[in-house]
Amino acid sequence: MSDNLGQGLSSLIPPKNNNSQSQFSGSARQQKSEEKIDSENILFIEVGKIKSNPHQPRKSFDKLKLQELANSIKEHGILQPLVLTKTEDGYQLIAGERRLEAAKIVGLPKVPAIIRDSSEQGKLELALIENIQRDNLNPIENAYAFKKLINEFNFTQQEVGKKIGKSRESIANTLRLLNLPAEIQRAILENKIKEGHGRVILSIPNVDKQLLFLKEIIKNNLSIRQAETMANKINRADPGRPKRKIRKDAQLKELEEKLENVLGTRVRLTKKGKKGKIVIEFFSSDELNNIIKKLSKK
């Protein structure tokens, strides 16, 4: 895992020490409202006063893993405090939703937490980073979180990648999953198929054929490699299929990479003789405006 992933929360959450871990269980100290523990400024906050993070990218929880976490909390307590921000009528969760849900299952009246000021953007960033660090988000959940950063906070794909320690190409590939029909997105979200299957399905241009292909993958439990083989057969049989991509020379690829670094999004260059074409991708009107601003700079 990239070291960059640790930077978001490590500055907010103090390192655990063996002397304080046992204090996060259901001990008598939890009965005191918002009591500070040692010098770490950790408070015990009533569960009922904590509202969920509206920017939480996770759409669903693995029930078995959540129950396992609840069992661990029942046995050992919460060893890692939640991160909250103060609101007019209580607190809002920034990071630690799985721990909070597990605490509710156990029936803990209060949970250990650190209070931090955070912007709306910060809440999304921290929720995203925390989920990647602790229990990876489903690819579709990741895609919607990336899209939210791009659409609402004017991030480029490259900037999103830097935030979470991934390449711009990886961000772009994940965002492309949102071009799939809702039924196929749901299949990935419910772990019926993998992200790799989704990318293979994207290679088929016809939506109706994509949906039929999804059923074949699930029915026959096709591996990603088997799905690729079948997709190639489907595309070869389709007279309207896109032409095979021509391998780019090294100079053209280098120019693409330079443009991508400047613009922060995917760029494709094609050349035929002295003529050619530049295709610049964007995923929202805000991202398009950012690209135009960069191109307008003298």
Instruction: Report the catalytic residues.
Output: 97
Asked if residue 99 lies in contact with residue 89, where contact means CB atoms within 8 angstroms, the answer is no
Instruction: For residue 40, report the phi and psi dihedrals to the nearest 5 degrees.
Output: -90, -5
